[in-house]
Structure 1
Amino acid sequence: MSKKQSLLKNGNKSSLIATIVNTIIAIIKGVAFFFTGNVAMFAETMHSLGDAANQFFVFIGSALSKKMPTENYPNGFGRLVNLVLLGAVLIVGIMSYETIKEGFLHIQHPTESKGIAINLSVLGLAAILESYVLFKAMKEVLHEAHVEASGFAAVGKSFSHLGKATPATKLVFMEDLVATLGGLIAIIGILLSYYGGFHAAEGIASIIIGIMMFYVVGKVFLDNAKGVLGEADEDLENKIAEFIFTNPEIKDIKTLFAMKEGEDFHIEMKLEIEPNLTVKEAFQIKDRIEKEIQSIKGVTDVIIEFVEDDGVKTWSQGLVSN
């Protein structure tokens, strides 16, 4: 197996599934729009196209972020997935603009669309497929958060633990949640237009779908901007601090960083120890702490520095002094 193939195997699985499913959905919706001219179907076509392209870049970015450090890039490629996602949201932003623009044009010049049977059939099928991808993303969220749940219990728990998911999984989750809701909104708009004579409803549905897409753009942009800058994970820092203080030789924590590097974590700390410890004893303590922290899923490297205890308490519960 080539290095490229081996690297792609490490890509985010939920984003790969979403790419394939959304490509199929986009083609089906595009064909339906071509024959019916329904503006709500146009909005859904653009939405699915944007999602497919976006999630493809997510898959590639998540795979490349697993690449091992090189001489030129000794810190690795962890944050590459954040950079790719920042670029990918531009695609969704353009799609969102086009969707909202078409919605306004339809409201200004409402026309009766045709082929209600085709539109409803396609949107119904798309909703089923997108719900499947969404559920797979929910399961991936729970897997990355180390939470056990099955059936409908997985739905609620996935929302409450979404913040612990990787950037790629979080994006797939949000995009397919919006896609599923967007399909239902499009169906409502078509029904109001066809049976209620309210033809502008399709344009309104298109605008709502576009606004929802913009929300995803904003949310993903902010989350991944933090990742590019190197966001600290306070929960992980506190978890590590609790373990460190189970070692009686450690008197205080001077500094402790748990920095997100894409989907992984870089841990760096400065610990205060008893001044009468030998070098051999200090190395044994260091190895013990490193081994335990490296067993945490997602942690790729740990840097520990020891200094003599200065008698001044720096660490207090729930607060890391950086």
Structure 2
Amino acid sequence: MASHAEGSTKAIFYALGANGGIALAKFAASLYTGSGAMLAEAIHSLADCTNQIFLLIGLKEAKKSANQAHPMGYGRVVYFWAMMVALLLFFVGGAFSVMEGIKHLQHPEPLNSTWVAMVVLGISVVLEAFSLYGAMTEIRKISNGKSFVRWFRETRQSELMVVAGEDIAALAGLTFAFIAVLLTTITGNPLWDACGSILVGILLMIVAIVVIREVKAMVTGESAAPEVHAAIKHFIESQPEVERIINLISMQWGEQVMLAVQAEMRPQPSDTALVDAINRVEAGIQRQWPQVKWCFFEPDHICRNKQTDESELSSYP
């Protein structure tokens, strides 16, 4: 669990360092050349820097100790900050770029020294690729061989998901901006630059919507990652003290996991022996999955006159 948090922090610092340098270079180039696409990219990089700071704030707050008002701690606060990042990416990055492009469509202006813009964009591609490489390196450590798309859909690490999404959007946006400036240079028509700004904005908004959808699922409350949930279920079923699982609910809580287990236990000689058996199972779970911070175990049994909604029980994996 700790290594996951450290990997996310490392990826965020990679992105923050790259985007800080890129933002300064892009602002200087946009002022020098008058390129709307370059200005849109500069605003995008500045928004990314703010996003990384938000993610670092979220990771720090998530480490706060539990208290009476928050008995399960602050682990899920990272989802709030990830949502803030996605909204900032949509409005400050995407919407601003579209509006800037529309303004340049209505009032086109010739660009100056476009080679400066292309050099800055080329350097930015290298720095963004470095940032994305850092994020993908951390993702490969924890993805267990999954494809990136599958990992993105199933991960519960919102901060690492956001960094990867930002870096991919940034590289694609830089490509659009470079092509727009190049076409403007070749044709002498500044409308290409305006169209590039609009395309960059649309791309950022699409990426932001995808990220918002994934973070929304985390905020609502998702189970532990499917392979973790399945492994825990198999572990409980294999314990000699357990007859069968009636119901198992897992919930991701930031870096930690909460479990609620309803199981039919094998007969024990006494109530004390039953409690000891449950404690052994819980200890085994937390020993193998240290991220399981809370485990609520209810011994039960199924009988014919028990008012149980079988369809509801079967809906859980």
Coarse TM-score class (shorter-chain normalised): 0.7 to 0.9
Deviates more, 1:8-17 or 1:133-142: 8-17
Aligned residue number for residue 254 of structure 2? 262
Counterpart code for 1:39: G
How big is each residue's C-alpha offset from its partner over 1:63-121, in whole Å with a ceiling of 9 and x where there is no partner? 21122212221111011011122223332222221110111122233222112221111
Aligned residue number for residue 81 of structure 2? 84
Q: What does 1:243-282 align with in structure 2 at a 5 Å threshold?
A: 243-282=235-274
Deviates more, 1:173-182 or 1:62-71: 62-71
Aligned residue number for residue 139 of structure 2? 141
Q: Is the 8 A contact 2:40 2:200 kept in 1?
A: yes
Aligned residue number for residue 220 of structure 1? 211
Aligned residue number for residue 99 of structure 1? 97
In the alignment, which of 36, 39, 42 is matched to residue 42 of structure 1? 39
RMSD: 2.7
Q: Distance in 2 between matches of 1:34 and 1:69?
A: 49
Q: Distance in 1 between matches of 2:188 and 2:225?
A: 54
| 4+ aligned runs moved over 6 Å, structure 1 | 8-11, 311-316
Aligned residue number for residue 285 of structure 1? 277
Deviates more, 1:177-186 or 1:8-17: 8-17
Judged with a 3 Å threshold, the aligned counterparts in structure 2 of structure 1 residues 178 and 9 are, in CA distance, closer, same or farther, namely closer
Aligned residue number for residue 114 of structure 1? 112
* Residue 178 (structure 1) aligned with residue 169 (structure 2): yes
Deviates more, 1:67-76 or 1:25-34: 67-76
Q: Is the 8 A contact 2:62 2:78 kept in 1?
A: yes
Percent of aligned positions that are identical = 27
Q: Distance in 1 between matches of 2:48 and 2:290?
A: 29
Aligned positions, number: 306
How big is each residue's C-alpha offset from its partner over 1:13-71, in whole Å with a ceiling of 9 and x where there is no partner? 21122122212211111111111111110111011011111111011102211222122
Q: Distance in 1 between matches of 2:42 and 2:237?
A: 55
In the alignment, which of 230, 233, 239 is matched to residue 241 of structure 1? 233
Q: Distance in 2 between matches of 1:159 and 1:229?
A: 21
How big is each residue's C-alpha offset from its partner over 1:176-206, in whole Å with a ceiling of 9 and x where there is no partner? 0000111111111111110133421111111
Q: Is the 8 A contact 2:252 2:258 kept in 1?
A: yes
Deviates more, 1:159-168 or 1:41-50: 159-168
Name the TM-score, length of structure 2 as normaliser: 0.87
Judged with a 3 Å threshold, the aligned counterparts in structure 2 of structure 1 residues 279 and 102 are, in CA distance, closer, same or farther, namely same
Judged with a 3 Å threshold, the aligned counterparts in structure 2 of structure 1 residues 219 and 12 are, in CA distance, closer, same or farther, namely same
Q: 5+ unaligned residues in a row in structure 1: which ranges?
A: 1-7, 148-155
Cα deviation for residue 220 of structure 1 reads: 2.2
Name the TM-score, length of structure 1 as normaliser: 0.86
In the alignment, which of 47, 66, 86 is matched to residue 69 of structure 1? 66
| Secondary structure at the counterpart of residue 161 of structure 1 | helix
| Secondary structure at the counterpart of residue 52 of structure 2 | helix
How big is each residue's C-alpha offset from its partner over 1:238-294, in whole Å with a ceiling of 9 and x where there is no partner? 222111111243222222111111232211211111344533433343233223322
Q: Distance in 1 between matches of 2:183 and 2:269?
A: 78
Q: Is the 8 A contact 1:293 1:299 kept in 2?
A: yes
